[in-house]
Amino acid sequence: MSIKAAIFCAAMGIGAVLPTASQARVYVDVDIAPPAPRVEVIPRERVGYVWAPGYWVWNGHRHVWVRGHYIRAHRGHHWVADSWEDRSGRWHYRRGHWD
């Protein structure tokens, strides 16, 4: 087997076990509840896009607001917005995703 073929096979093997960016998950649990959502003025509708509302994200020290924005629509799917869930006094962040 040539060196190029061996490198290719090794790369394919590693790629098969490593998660891709779309599979990566970040789990955040904090003791501090997020503030109430901010009121946003939604810009005029854009054809082929859906509105992803703003949300609070934890930066490691405090909650920081991320403004809402339009994202390209996925035919046959709907956008589930980013959210926080109270789990027995700990706040769990759920990243927005297509469902």
Q: How many CA atoms lie within 13 A of 58 on its CB side?
A: 19
Residues of the chain falling short of pLDDT 50 = 8-9, 14-20
CA 57-61-62 angle, to 5 degrees, is 45
| Residue 27 pLDDT | 73
pTM (2 decimals)? Answer: 0.70
pLDDT of residue 64: 98
Give me the pLDDT at residue 24, please: 64
pLDDT tens-digit series, residues 64-84: 999 999 999 999 999 999 999
* Residue entry with tokens 């956008």: 79
What pLDDT, on the 0 to 100 scale, is given for residue 15? 47
